[in-house]
Amino acid sequence: MLELSHIFYSYKDFLALEDITFKFPAKSLTAIVGPNGAGKSTLLKAIAGLITPYKGKLKWKNEIKLAYLPQYSLLDRSFPLTVFDVVAMGLWQKIGIFGGLSHKGADEIHEALESVGLKGFEKRGLSELSGGQFQRLLFARMIVQDADFLLLDEPFAAVDEATTRDLLKLIQEWHCQGKSIMAVIHNLNLVRKYFPQTLLLAKKVVAFGETKAVLTTESLTETSLMGL
C-alpha cells in the first residue's frame, strides 16, 4: 500500500530520520514505538505529506484518503466552536465548505458522537471538555472523515483509561473494516495486546514486522526502551 525507500529528513543540521525503508501492507494495524526524539512524529508528518524528505522516495500504491491526528492537537481549545462543529469539519472534504450540511450529514455526526460516547454533548463548547472527551471528539471527527489510512500520533498520551479502552475498540473496528492504521504508542503492553505489527524506530528502522518478533529484549535494549 505504501512504500518508503531510503528516506532522510533533517531539521536544519539535525538528522531526524536516517535511511528509512519499509513496505507498509494494506489493511495493517501497526504501532510505532521508540524513545523520545526517535523521529516518530517526523515520520508520520512525512507520510502525511506535511514535510518533504530531502532524500528518498515515498510511494503510494493507490490513491487513498488520509487522516492525520497530530501529537498535541493544534486546534485551539479556547476557540468558540461546539462539539458538533468540530465533527462537522470532518465532512468538509466531502461536501465543501459552502456545500451546506444535509440531514444525512447531520445524522452521521450524531451517530459518530454516539459511538465515541459523546451523545448529548453536541452543543458543548470545546473549553468545557476534559482531555479524554476532547480526544473522543477528534475520533468522532475521524469517523465522519472515513479515511482509508489513519495516522495517529500518541492518541492516548493525555487520556484516561476508560477513554483509551473505548478508542482502542474503535481502532480495532476500523481495522476490521479494512482501514490501515499507524499509531505512535508508548505503552508496550497496549502494543503487545492490540497491535499485530510494530515498527521500532530510533532515527533508523530498528525492526519492523510482527509485534512479537519486533519487541524482543535485544531490540528493546538496542533502543534503550527497557522498562518502559
Ligand X SMILES: Nc1ncnc2c1ncn2[C@@H]1O[C@H](COP(=O)(O)OP(=O)(O)O)[C@@H](O)[C@H]1O
- Give me the residues that bind ligand X (CB under 6 A), please: 11, 14, 16, 34, 36-42
Q: Name the residue with the smallest CB distance to Mg ion.
A: 41
Among ligand X, Mg ion, none, the one that 144 touches (CB under a kind-dependent 5 to 8 A) is none
Residue given cell 501529537 in the structure block: 71
Pick from 10, 21, 41, 93 the residue near Mg ion by CB under 5 A.
Answer: 41
- Least distance in angstroms from the C-beta of 153 to Mg ion: 6
Asked if 73 contacts 138 with a C-beta cutoff of 8 angstroms, the reply is yes
> Contact letters (x/-) for Mg ion, 60-79, by CB under 5 A?
-----------x--------
Asked if 7 contacts 61 with a C-beta cutoff of 8 angstroms, the reply is no
Looking at the Cβ atoms of 90 and 155, the one nearer to Mg ion is 155
Looking at the Cβ atoms of 39 and 105, the one nearer to Mg ion is 39
Among ligand X, Mg ion, none, the one that 220 touches (CB under a kind-dependent 5 to 8 A) is none
- Least distance in angstroms from the C-beta of 203 to ligand X: 8
Q: Where are the beta strands (DSSP E) in 34-175?
A: 55-60, 66-69, 149-153
CB-CB neighbours of 167 under 10 Å: 21
Q: Is 21 in the site for Mg ion (CB under 5 A)?
A: no
Query: Which of 64, 58, 66 is closest to 23 using CA atoms?
Result: 58
* 36 CB-side CA count, 13 A: 2
Query: Which of 144, 83, 85 is closest to 111 using CA atoms?
Result: 144
- Least distance in angstroms from the C-beta of 41 to ligand X: 3
- Least distance in angstroms from the C-beta of 73 to ligand X: 15
Asked if 20 contacts 45 with a C-beta cutoff of 8 angstroms, the reply is no
Helix (H) or strand (E) run with residue 193 in it: helix 188-194
- Least distance in angstroms from the C-beta of 147 to Mg ion: 20
Among ligand X, Mg ion, none, the one that 36 touches (CB under a kind-dependent 5 to 8 A) is ligand X
Contact residues for Mg ion, defined by CB under 5 A: 40-41, 71
